Chain A
Amino acid sequence: MNGSRNGNFNLKNKIIENMVPIIFVAFTLLGFAVSSGVPLSYFLSELSSRFFRNAFLVLSLVIPVIAGLGLNFGIVVGAISGQIAIAIVRYFYLEGLTGLLLCFAIAAPIAAFFGWLTGKLYNKTRGQEMIASLIVSFFANGIYQFLFLFVVGVIILVPATHPMIKPDGVGIRMSVDMGKLKYALESILEVPFMWAVLVVCVAALVFMLLRHFKKKQELTKNKKINFYIRIGVFSVLAVISIISIITGNSLMSVRDVPAATAVLIALLCLFTSWIMKTKLGQDFRSVGQNQYIAGTNGIDVDKTRIIAVIMSTVFASWGQIIYLQNMGTLNTYGAHNQIGMFSVAAILVGGASVSKATVGQALLGTILFNSMFIMSPEIGKALFGQAILGEYFRTFMVYGIIGMALGLYVWKANRASKLTIDPDALSESTGRSAWITIPTPPDSSSSSGTRTN
């Protein structure tokens, strides 16, 4: 997102760098152009509710990327922990805000434990973390089903009359009613959409201007243009929101914004930025850049990586709880399955890569990805007369984007290493893990690169 490093503003480079986000904006605009039946207010309603549902989950991916673990498809494990917490809370008929807070509290230790286990596993599958995380999500799904379909009822005895339990007394039903856990966050405070836009824009403008005048340093031309573009975008949005608040046009009918969810998302953003400034954050960064050098500098690489995974898993469990309290019912055996895939696709769409991710990319990606998600059935309907086509198309986009982003990343990394070292030599010495960098740190117990000896 930050443009080319050299001071020259190079439009062509900029476009190439931000290809994926641009494609998504274009796709959404195409959707508006071809399908006449989509009012802007409907689109914004859908987008805002999807954004507040998903953003927390997508944000949970940032830390592992910085710590060099790549895209953690294993947040499914976190989602599962969140669902276990919800099941426990609902088993005792608890609901409302207290119930929700209890969910958060119960989910955290469960997710931390599972995160610890997955972290240990990633340390043993160094260089193949992403495929391992994908398989972990499948594996965890199996364990989860065993727990909920078999252990509950056969080993943990439960009354068959409980509304959550299947009529034969074994296993939890396909869908669990969340009671007043539903909209627990929304019910705290809801703000009209345009007011929320206005508040966010004004806050962003004030923040940016303050920082601009405080620094007072000479900006490069590139940064200057970036700065003015941002100021411009936020000003325009602010003006639009003022106009529609005064005139009360159709934009005022956009669904209200859940303030509490927004605060939670903002807190996670702040936390992620804050932790990067601490010692731990620096460790994440140096481990992410080069495990070997980090190890020689006295950083406990394995431990740092595990901490990153634990954080990601705990945040994902909370994210799933936020997601589900908005959905209203717990789809016991389906709600978690696609979470990893969709969240990863979203953050990639925002411009992140295997080794680079920011909070801003996560948020932008959530918006763009969900725009595509809302519009593709409409495009399918308008262009081909079948909404199902749009649904297949968006599945293709999810897999295609992940595949392409990962493929391009590795291809570029391999090409770059060809300029300096022979990639075969590199990949052999690290036991074919050239793309995540570098040999195993010396303190790791696993034997590295001895396959050929």
Chain B
Amino acid sequence: MSEKALGRMRFDAFVKKIGLPTLIIAAFFIVVLIAAVILDMPMPTLIGDMLKRFGMNGLLVLAMVPSIQSGTGPNFALPVGIICGLFSIVCGIEFGFTGWNLILFAAGMSLVLAALVGLLYGKLLNAVKGAEMTIATYTGFSIVALMELGWLMIPFKSKKMGWMMGSGLRETIQLDGVEAEEIINNFLSFEVFGIKVPTGLLLVLFAFSVMIWLFFRTKTGIAISAGGINPNFAKASGINIDRNRIVANVISTVLGAFGIILYSQSFGYAQLYAAPLNMAFPAVAAVLIGGATAARAKVSNVIIGTLLFQGLLTTSMPVANQLFAGTDLSEIMRMVIQNGIILYALTQVKGGAEA
């Protein structure tokens, strides 16, 4: 075998190991970073923003791991969990909690709420085996639309959330009014080389990542993965697949709820009404960019994918604006990359490529 062919084989193996989408996005990311340096962008601010965006989206992306591993595909019904989280935040504000109390209350309440809702959602998914992704998408959409009615009709009293006149909640609720803006981000936060590191945010994400990583090493976790890889084999070994799929989706829904709490406090606003409608798609795209497929995902895929995707989005916006003022090129790029990667993953769903 010639030297060239051998080199080519090595290259192919490398591409296969890392994954083509990951490589393409990483290359693109590096190009944008170099452009940012050439254009003399303020790098510390850029990196600080990147860390923040990485941290605030991380949990939402992590929510994809349990559902993918259990064989129900990426959790396109992430808005279900997000709505649970938002509802808990709103209830916390309504009951007069502020600061850390609000965050803890919201986390506690959303844990219970999301677990219950996730249970029902898991049952639904078991009834529609084979079309989980489509049904999940519309479950998410329906819940968001239903809660649009809810935000308007549930008689919340708190002045911090209502309109000046009329009933119903505002579209966005400022969290600085309840002393919860960036409260986790600022925990132990420090500056190095002008880069603001949101220590608390990263710690929380890290803690949950380790927990999920450990969970998939427990007996239940391994059983869930086994059921996702080969339901028949798992069934033959006495694993209750339906129950495991429900467990996995409960975890995913709870992570979605926690994810939006982390996201909202970092963003400074809780966004209601139509805002959660399309939140599942960037999260799905991120985990796929990290090297996951619609059937297999690891915690490392989450970390790499979120860092690449959110990093690319954060850096490309100022770069694109400088190069082509007036056109929101980065938003267009987000749409193309995000949906392109999901389509790519869908074409791989039943092929033997990833086995």
A contact residues vs B (CB 8 Å cutoff): 121, 124-128, 130-132, 134-136, 138-139, 141-143, 145-146, 149-150, 154, 166, 168, 170-171, 384, 386, 388-389, 392-393, 395-396, 398-400, 402-403, 406-407, 410-411, 414, 423-425, 427-428, 430-435, 440, 446-453
CB of B336 within 8 A of CB of A407, answer no
Which residues of A lie under 8 Å from residue B295 when comparing CB positions? Answer: 451
- A150 near B339: Cβ-Cβ < 8 Å: no
Task: Specify which chain B residues have a CB less than 8 angstroms from the CB of A432 in the assembled complex.
Answer: 71, 129-130, 132, 349-350
Q: Is B301 an interface residue (CB 8 A)?
A: no
Is A389 in contact with B152, judged by CB distance below 8 angstroms?
yes
Q: Within the assembled complex, what's the spacing in Å between the Cα atoms of A433 and B145?
A: 28
**B154-162, B252-260, B321-329: which lies at the A interface?**
B321-329
- Chain B, Cβ-Cβ closest to A150: B327
- Known contacts A149-B327, A396-B148, A431-B350; decide if A406 and B343 are in contact (CB<8 Å): no
> Can you list 15 pairs linking A and B with CB atoms under 8 Å apart?
A131-B133, A132-B343, A135-B281, A142-B332, A149-B332, A168-B326, A170-B326, A171-B327, A395-B148, A400-B145, A400-B146, A406-B134, A414-B127, A432-B130, A434-B130
Binds A, one of B54-62, B82-90, B228-236: B228-236
Residue of B nearest to A395 (CB): B145
Q: Are B339 and A139 in contact (CB under 8 A)?
A: yes
Contact of A384 among B128, B153, B343 (CB under 8 A): B153
| A131 and B346 contacting across the interface, CB-CB below 8 Å | yes
Stretch at the interface among B35-43, B135-143, B309-317: B135-143
Cross-chain contact of B335 among A145, A388, A403, A449 (Cβ < 8 A): A145
* A131, B128: Cβ atoms closer than 8 Å: no
Partner of B347, one of A125, A403, A434: A125
Interface pair B76/A131, CB less than 8 Å apart = yes
A127 and B328 alpha carbons, distance in the complex (Å): 35
B238 interfacial contact with A, CB 8 Å = no
Query: With A125-B349, A428-B230 known to touch, is A410 a contact of B128 (CB < 8 Å)?
Result: yes
Can you list, as one digit per residue, whether each of B63-81 has a CB less than 8 Å from chain A (1) or not (0)?
Answer: 0000000010000100000
**Alpha-carbon distance between A450 and B230 when the two chains are bound, in angstroms:** 11
Decide if B149 touches A410 in the complex (CB within 8 Å).
no
Residues of B within 8 A of A450 (CB): 351-352, 355
Q: Is the CB of B335 within 8 A of A139?
A: yes
Sample of 7 more A-B contacts, CB < 8 Å, known A125-B349, A392-B149, A427-B130 = A121-B343, A136-B339, A138-B281, A396-B146, A428-B232, A434-B130, A451-B295
Q: Which residues of A contact B339 (CB under 8 A)?
A: 135-136, 138-139, 142
Given A170-B326, A396-B148, A428-B231: A128 in contact with B133 (beta carbons within 8 A):
yes
Cβ–Cβ < 8 Å partners of B137 in chain A: 131, 134
Give, as a whole number of angstroms, the nearest-CB distance from A60 to chain B: 20
Measured in the bound complex, the distance between the Cα atoms of B146 and A393 in whole Å is 7
Find chain A residues with CB under 8 A from B342 CB.
135
Q: Chain B CB within 10 Å — which of A166, A395, A453 has the most?
A: A395
User: Given that A396-B149, A452-B229 are known contacts, is A410 also in contact with B135, CB under 8 Å in the complex?
Assistant: yes
Q: A446 to B346, alpha carbons, bound, how many Å?
A: 13
Interface contact A124-B347, CB-CB below 8 Å: yes
| Complex CA–CA separation, A171 to B326 (angstroms) | 10
A130: chain B residues at CB < 8 Å are 131, 134
Question: In the complex, which residue of chain B has the Cβ closest to the Cβ of A71?
Answer: B134
A residues near B335, Cβ cutoff 8 Å: 138-139, 141-142, 145
Q: Is the CB of B352 within 8 A of A447?
A: yes
Selected from A166, A170, A386, A435, the residue in CB contact (under 8 A) with B324 is A170
Q: How far is the CB of B131 from chain A (nearest CB, A)?
A: 4
Residue on B with the closest CB to A138? Answer: B339
Is B124 close to A, CB under 8 A? yes
Q: Does B44 contact A (CB under 8 A)?
A: no
Residues of A within 8 A of B194 (CB): none
Asked if B108 is an interface residue, CB under 8 A from chain A, the answer is no
B260 to chain A, nearest CB (A): 19
A144 to B86 Cα, complex, angstroms: 33
State the majority secondary structure of interface residues on B: helix
Is B287's beta carbon under 8 Å from chain A? Answer: no
Identify A402's interface contact among B71, B133, B138, B324, CB under 8 A.
B138
Smallest CB gap from B132: residue in A = A432
Per DSSP, are chain A's interface residues mostly helix, strand or loop, or mixed?
helix
Interface pair B235/A424, CB less than 8 Å apart? yes
Q: Are the CB atoms of B350 and A403 closer together than 8 Å?
A: no
How far apart sit A154 and B329, CA to CA, in the bound complex (Å)? 12
Complex CA gap A131/B241 in Å reads 24
For B145, what are the chain A residues with a Cβ–Cβ distance below 8 Å? 392, 395-396, 398-400
| Docked-complex contact A128 and B346, CB < 8 angstroms | yes
Within the complex, the shortest CB–CB distance from A84 to chain B, in Å, comes to: 16
B112 to chain A: closest CB distance in Å? 25
Least Cβ–Cβ distance between A35 and chain B, in angstroms: 18
Q: Is there a chain A Cβ closer than 8 Å to B340's Cβ?
A: yes
Contacts of A435 in B (CB 8 A): 128, 130-131
Q: Which residues of B contact A414 (CB under 8 A)?
A: 127-130
> Which B residues are CB-close (under 8 A) to A132?
343, 346
4 closest residue pairs by CB, A with B: A431-B350, A142-B335, A403-B138, A450-B352
Asked if B141 contacts A399 (CB within 8 A), the reply is: yes
Contact B139 A403 (CB under 8 A): yes
A423 → chain B closest CB, angstroms: 6
B76 to A: closest C-beta gap in Å: 7
Nearest residue, chain B, Cβ from A439: B350
- Residue from the list A127, A136, A392, A424 in contact with B350, Cβ < 8 A: A127
**Are A136 and B343 touching (Cβ within 8 A)?**
yes
Cβ-defined contact, B350 with A430, below 8 A: yes
Are A150's CB and B349's CB within 8 A?
no
Q: A142-B335, A451-B355 are in contact. Are A427 and B327 (CB under 8 A)?
A: no
CB atoms of A434 and B327 under 8 A apart: no
Distance in angstroms between the alpha carbons of A217 and B17 in the assembled complex? 68
Given A407-B124, A434-B129, A452-B355: A146 and B332 within 8 A (CB)?
Answer: yes
In the bound complex, CA of A126 to CA of B142 (Å): 25
Chain B residues with CB under 8 Å of A399's CB are: 138, 141-142, 144-145
Note all chain B residues with C-beta closer than 8 A to A154.
Answer: 324
| B128 CB contact (under 8 Å) in A126, A171, A407, A453 | A407
Residues of A within 8 A of B336 (CB): 139, 142-143, 146
A424 partner, pick from B129, B142, B334, beta carbons under 8 A: B129
In the complex, what residues of A have CB within 8 A of residue B134's CB?
Answer: 128, 130-131, 134, 406
Q: Which residues of B contact A149 (CB under 8 A)?
A: 327-329, 332
Shortest CB distance A420–B (Å): 15
| Closest Cβ neighbor of B151 among chain A residues | A392
Residue in A closest to B273 when the chains form the complex, CB atoms: A392
A411 to B355, CA, bound (A): 28
Partner of B327, one of A170, A388, A451: A170
Given the complex, which residues of A lie within 8 Å of B327, measured CB to CB?
149-150, 170-171
Q: Which residue of B lies closest to A136 (CB)?
A: B343
Q: A139-B336, A392-B145 are in contact. Are A406 and B324 (CB under 8 A)?
A: no
Query: Complex Cα distance A193/B130, Å?
Result: 47
Which residues of chain A have C-beta atoms less than 8 A from B338's C-beta? 138
Q: In the docked arrangement, what's the CA distance between A127 and B348, Å?
A: 12
Contacting residues, chain B, for A424 (C-beta < 8 A): 129, 231-232, 235, 241
